[in-house]
């Protein structure tokens, strides 16, 4: 049986609010799925063997319960198209393996449109220790295992025999259909390093092995990437650059505070809402001690939690800091994966403080269906998430949180270990 390890980034979080302006405290925490994260499991073929009848029962449960439980399942896709997609998948069940059936249902869930509605990825997903993303005009490898150092920085040309642009079009089908383009584009390459998806699409014949054709200054070459085994130590990942910038350091720390003496600034990498009250005590103690000229709050890697906690322990207290709550002294760094509660708190910083938002447009729409709950399919035990409330954080907007200063890092900056977003905030006068 598939076991569940993490939420996909739609994967990510819960916030609160309502179109009527009433707020209810209903916290929920979720985990951001990133390509560098993987779950150690014994590589194996499709281990969930169900009969066609059992898959049919799961699909009918999915088709019945998703519209019934979602706050408004047809705010984006029509009921007629939803039913047609389910019927088409149902007719083909007998000829599909478990991975292809998972991909089929996950695709339909993403057609609902909001980022909090999706079919969870099972634990035995054969996620590869390999990462690439779009930087500038190319998709470049940013993380690989020891022995594949040549791949780092190389352009991705093909996934198996599929050209990268065609592969990305398939991957886009497993991103929420009604979220902002920034989010869908950021998610798509992450889908192309997961074995269950590549195999489900038919791009690979073995869910545990994939080949990527790359190009560097010396020409084209191919790397073979394998899913990790639970019987061996986790492979050591090597990133670009080897010496990462501040916001990529200590990735397991949920709330990292750094005193930048040269710039007389406090940098706070706010990645998680876990124990936020305790963590912010240390932040404000440092501020009282050093009397900084600037405070930088980094939300680029925050996948959500309880936005009331963010308001209580961070946004509102910072708003009372007269020396820092002034333009040019308070900065909030945002990006496509600033998600859910973090997205809401970014909106709060803009509304309630003098913060300058720096970075890239947030991927999730601030006015959308959110706050997920979960139901488990009866036979496969796949977990289906669905949104239960509609929230409106920026009424009357174009339904996106844009930075006040947009900065998109270049490949040369990434390779050199620079963070131009933080650099701009620290240099601002």
pLDDT number for residue 49: 84
Rounded CA gap, 385 and 238, in Å? 33
Q: What is the pLDDT of residue 232?
A: 65
Phi and psi angles of residue 77, each rounded to the nearest 5 degrees, phi first? -90, 150
Indicate the pTM of the whole model: 0.88
- DSSP 3-state percent helix, strand, coil across the chain (nearest 5): 30, 25, 45
Task: Please provide the DSSP assignment of 17-50 as one string.
Answer: --TTS-------------TT--------S-----
Task: Provide the token pair at 131.
Answer: 């990462």
Query: Which H/E stretch holds residue 230?
Result: none
* Assigned CATH topology for domain 131-239: Pdz3 Domain (2.30.42)
Quick one: pLDDT at residue 257? 98
Gap between the Cα atoms of 300 and 6, Å rounded:
19
Tokens of 44: 């194996």
The side-by-side arrangement of strands in the sheet containing 118-119 is 118-119, 383-392, 367-376
Q: What is the pLDDT along the chain (429 residues), one digit of tens a residue?
A: 333 333 333 332 333 332 222 223 333 333 333 222 223 334 455 667 899 999 999 999 999 999 999 999 999 999 999 999 999 999 999 999 999 999 999 999 999 999 999 999 998 899 999 999 999 999 999 999 999 999 999 999 999 999 999 999 999 999 999 999 999 999 999 999 999 999 999 999 999 999 999 999 999 999 999 998 766 666 888 999 889 999 999 999 999 999 999 999 999 999 999 999 999 999 999 999 999 999 999 999 999 999 999 999 999 999 999 999 999 999 999 999 999 999 999 999 999 999 999 999 999 999 999 999 999 999 999 999 999 999 999 987 799 999 999 999 999 999 999 999 999 999 998
Question: What pLDDT score does 16 carry?
Answer: 32
Q: What is the pLDDT of residue 8?
A: 35
Cβ partners under 8 Å of residue 305, min gap 6: 13, 14, 27, 28, 29, 30, 272, 273, 274, 276, 340, 341, 342
Tokens at residue 155, please?
């352009």
**298 and 326 Cβ atoms separated by less than 8 Å:** no
CB atoms within 10 A of CB 93: 19
* Domain residue ranges in the chain: 4-122, 131-239, 246-365+400-427
- The answer to whether 307 touches 344, Cβ cutoff 8 Å, is yes
The CATH number of 246-365+400-427 is 3.90.226.10
Whole-number pLDDT of residue 45: 57
């Amino acid at each position: 049986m598939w076991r569940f390890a993490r939420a996909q980034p739609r994967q990510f979080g819960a916030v609160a609010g309502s179109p009527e302006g009433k707020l209810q405290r209903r916290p929920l925490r979720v985990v951001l799925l990133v390509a560098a994260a993987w779950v150690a499991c014994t590589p194996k073929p499709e281990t969930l063997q169900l009969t066609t009848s059992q898959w049919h029962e799961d699909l009918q449960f999915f088709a019945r319960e998703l519209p019934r439980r979602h706050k408004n399942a047809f705010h984006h896709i029509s009921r007629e198209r939803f039913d047609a997609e389910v019927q088409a998948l149902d007719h083909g069940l007998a000829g599909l393996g478990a991975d292809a059936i998972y991909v089929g249902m996950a695709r339909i869930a993403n057609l609902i449109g909001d980022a909090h509605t999706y079919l969870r990825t099972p634990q035995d997903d054969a996620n590869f220790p390999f990462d690439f993303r779009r930087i500038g005009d190319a998709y470049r490898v940013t993380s690989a295992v020891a022995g594949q150092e040549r791949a780092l920085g190389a352009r991705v040309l093909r996934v198996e025999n599929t050209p990268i642009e065609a592969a990305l079009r398939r991957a886009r089908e497993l991103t929420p259909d009604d979220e902002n383009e920034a989010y869908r584009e950021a998610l798509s390459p992450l889908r192309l390093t997961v074995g269950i998806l590549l195999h489900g699409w038919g791009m690979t014949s073995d869910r545990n092995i994939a080949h990527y054709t790359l190009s560097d200054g010396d020409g084209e070459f191919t790397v073979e990437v394998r899913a990790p085994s639970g019987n061996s130590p986790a492979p050591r990942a090597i990133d670009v650059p080897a010496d990462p910038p501040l916001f990529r350091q200590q990735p397991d720390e949920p709330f990292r505070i750094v005193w930048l003496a040269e710039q007389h600034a406090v940098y706070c990498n706010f990645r998680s809402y876990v124990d936020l009250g305790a963590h912010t005590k240390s932040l404000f103690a440092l501020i009282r001690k050093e009397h900084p000229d600037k405070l930088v709050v980094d939300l680029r890697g925050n996948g959500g939690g309880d936005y009331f906690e963010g308001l209580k322990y961070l946004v509102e207290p910072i708003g009372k800091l007269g020396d820092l709550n002034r333009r040019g002294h308070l900065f909030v760094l945002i990006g496509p994966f600033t998600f859910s509660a973090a997205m809401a708190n970014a909106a709060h910083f803009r509304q309630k403080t003098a913060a300058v938002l720096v970075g890239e447009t947030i991927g999730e729409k601030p006015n959308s269906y959110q706050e997920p709950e979960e139901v488990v399919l009866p036979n496969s035990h796949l977990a289906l998430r669905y949104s239960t409330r509609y929230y409106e954080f920026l009424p009357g907007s174009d339904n996106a949180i844009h930075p006040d200063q947009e900065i998109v890092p270049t490949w040369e900056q990434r390779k050199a270990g620079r963070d131009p977003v933080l650099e701009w905030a620290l240099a601002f006068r």
